[in-house]
Amino acid sequence: MRNARQNLKFLDDLARAATGALGSFSEVRHHLRALVKERVDAALDQMDVVSREEFDRVAAMAEKARLRQEELEKRLAALEGKKTTKKPAAKAKTAKAKSKPAAKRKTAPKKTQRKKKK
């Protein structure tokens, strides 16, 4: 029994030491993560990289502009459709105008050239 108690005590001490070591490793891990983040942030600041918030804001603006452009393209197509349906009536009007004789233009009398004497 004594051996078993010693083994249990040894295992209990070993578990405590491992837990303490894991706590220390966890602390080191958090500290290391903070240092790496700090270095990466400093490097990104020097590189002229935009933040995620700014990127999302510009992406939303681009999406809004794209939707507006599509809307305007649809309106333009609808207006062009109306314009093409009105063209035959406009052509008939111009055909009537062409059938009328054009007024004669008055022109200035032609100048005669004089022959130069030698």
Q: What is the pLDDT along the chain (118 residues), one digit of tens a residue?
A: 567 777 778 888 888 888 887 777 788 888 999 999 999 888 888 888 888 999 999 999 999 999 999 999 999 999 998 887 665 555 555 555 555 555 555 555 565 566 655 5
Say what the pLDDT of residue 58 is: 97
Residue keyed to tokens 């004594």: 2
In a domain, 102, yes or no: no
Say what the pLDDT of residue 8 is: 78
In a domain, 32, yes or no: yes
Residue 103 has phi, psi (to 5 degrees) of -70, 145
In a domain, 19, yes or no: yes
Which amino acid belongs to residue 59? Answer: A
Say what the pLDDT of residue 76 is: 94
In a domain, 44, yes or no: yes
User: 39 lies in which domain range?
Assistant: 9-92
Signed CA dihedral, 40, 42, 43, 44: sign only: positive
In a domain, 63, yes or no: yes
The CA-atom distances, in angstroms, between 97 and each of 27, 85, 90 are 93, 20, 11
* Prediction pTM value: 0.38
In a domain, 3, yes or no: no
Say what the pLDDT of residue 110 is: 61
In a domain, 29, yes or no: yes
How many domains does the chain contain in total? 1
Say what the pLDDT of residue 71 is: 97
